[in-house]
Amino acid sequence: MQMTDRGLLALTRHEGIVPGPYLDVVNVWTFGVGHTAAAGPPDPAKMPRGMPADLEAGLREAFQIFRADLARYEADVRRAVKVPLAPHEFDALVSFHYNTGGIARATLTRHLNAGDRDAAAGAFLNWRKPAAIIPRREAERDLFRDGRYPGGTIPVWAVDRHGRVDFSRPLRQLTEDEALALLRSKRTGSSGSQPATPSATPSATPSATPSASASASKDQPSWLARLISFFSTLNRKA
């Protein structure tokens, strides 16, 4: 069993996309949708710095690496859950595990394997610290319980040559159709093709810290939630 296209979009929407190497909050080089060297090649620390000259190629690469990384989390969910799952339930569980790394030890998994789906749905919110992550947990619970997929665009964030992401405003907002087209794109050339070439000059000079005016919502988490997500990426892939 694998995530559906809608599940992939929901997870990518939660995480956001940075199509160039960046330093997360604990100074680990990261790329795309939370990819680090701990998940396998490529090593973001060795990738060309800054934004790619061809943004579309950079986005395709980010999605391709994301799909490769995701296979590990899908496999973890398949191992941990012993009962049949509907596609939307599987999507919600993989999103939860991608963020927390906790599917094997979570109370929700124990409830689910015991046949109590209502209790499993409620247990998503056991993982609610810090408070900024609660909107994501609620969205995952609603997806698991009701099959309700979050809507809205998917943010693409700019990064400079020093690995600093500008969270003050998205460089671009992908529609679902655009994201699906990129997700389904085949890599051009051989499987050993090189990463997208960085632009000669960054398209923007991002600030080192996110804008304090960024607002939080279920479909587009606050800058604090994104920092939390980056921190959890290190923990789950260490």
Is residue 205 over pLDDT 80?
A: no
Average pLDDT for 11-18: 90
- Work out the burial of residue 148: count CB atoms within 10 Å of its CB; fewer than 13 is exposed, 13-18 middle, 19 or more buried: middle
Q: Which residue has the tokens 């996110």?
A: 210
Which DSSP helix (H) or strand (E) runs through 114? Answer: none
The mean predicted confidence, pLDDT, of the chain is: 81
Please report which confidence band the pLDDT of residue 171 belongs to, taking 50, 70 and 90 as the band edges: very high
CA 23: distance to chain centroid?
A: 15
Higher model confidence: residue 207 or residue 119?
Answer: 119
Please report which confidence band the pLDDT of residue 96 belongs to, taking 50, 70 and 90 as the band edges: very high
> Hey, is 61 helix, strand or coil?
helix
Is residue 109 over pLDDT 50?
A: yes
Higher model confidence: residue 144 or residue 68?
Answer: 144
Q: Which residues contact 84 (CB under 8 A, 6 or more apart)?
A: none
Higher model confidence: residue 75 or residue 226?
Answer: 75
Q: Average the pLDDT over each of 73-87, 116-130, 150-164, 204-218 and give the range with the smallest value.
A: 204-218
pTM for this predicted structure: 0.72
Q: What is the pLDDT of residue 155?
A: 93
Bridge partners (DSSP) of residue 214 are: none
- Domains belonging to the chain, first-starting first, are 5-237 (1.10.530.40)
Higher model confidence: residue 159 or residue 27?
Answer: 159
Average pLDDT for 9-30: 89
Is residue 84 over pLDDT 60?
A: yes
What Å distances lie between residue 129 and 52, 91, 95, 191, CA to CA?
35, 22, 16, 40
Please report which confidence band the pLDDT of residue 226 belongs to, taking 50, 70 and 90 as the band edges: low
Q: What is the pLDDT of residue 207?
A: 31
Is residue 221 over pLDDT 60?
A: no
Q: What is the pLDDT of residue 229?
A: 55
Q: pLDDT, tens digit, for every residue of 34-62? A: 898 877 899 999 999 999 999 988 998 99
Is residue 201 over pLDDT 90?
A: no
How far apart, in whole angstroms, are the C-alpha atoms of residue 188 and residue 181? 14
Is 74 in contact with 94 (CB distance < 8 Å)? yes
How far apart, in whole angstroms, are the C-alpha atoms of residue 102 and residue 51? 33
% of the chain exceeding 90 in pLDDT: 58
Q: What is the pLDDT of residue 217?
A: 33
